[in-house]
Structure 1
């Protein structure tokens, strides 16, 4: 990944799961949604600074 490019990853509020970094927000959101659906957890998307993206909370 080139310098200065945003990276997003899914993160779980209920367990230590952290998804791999993605350049596209939608891909990170899909990974978080898959984890939430599979485990019944609450997940969200964070940026490269581990700041939660507003509106990205996924409950299943």
Structure 2
């Protein structure tokens, strides 16, 4: 299913619990949500696209420094 108006959508997800962040148009916002959850709950998180496919290189481990 395509997102409205064909725009890409990104969402943070947790590998350790059923948490899913809300959808964002910008990857950086979903990445920030993933970092926040990873740091707050000591869980491994990642970012997925609108098709629920994991974005390569988006895995975030707890207390990992944020990328520039």
Pair in the same fold by TM > 0.5:
yes
Structure 2: unaligned runs, 5 residues or longer: 63-68
Structure 1 stretches of 4+ moved >4 Å: none
Q: What TM-score do the two structures reach when normalised by structure 1? A: 0.96
Structure number, greater radius of gyration: 2
Residue 6 in structure 1 maps to residue 5 in structure 2: no
Secondary structure of the structure 1 residue equivalent to 2:13: strand
Q: 2: CA distance between counterparts of 1:12 and 1:3?
A: 27
Structure 1: unaligned runs, 5 residues or longer: none
Residue 20 in structure 1 maps to residue 29 in structure 2: no
Q: 2: CA distance between counterparts of 1:15 and 1:2?
A: 28
Q: What TM-score do the two structures reach when normalised by structure 2? A: 0.85
| Aligned length in residues | 60
Q: 2: CA distance between counterparts of 1:6 and 1:22?
A: 8
Q: Which structure has the highest strand share of the two?
A: 1
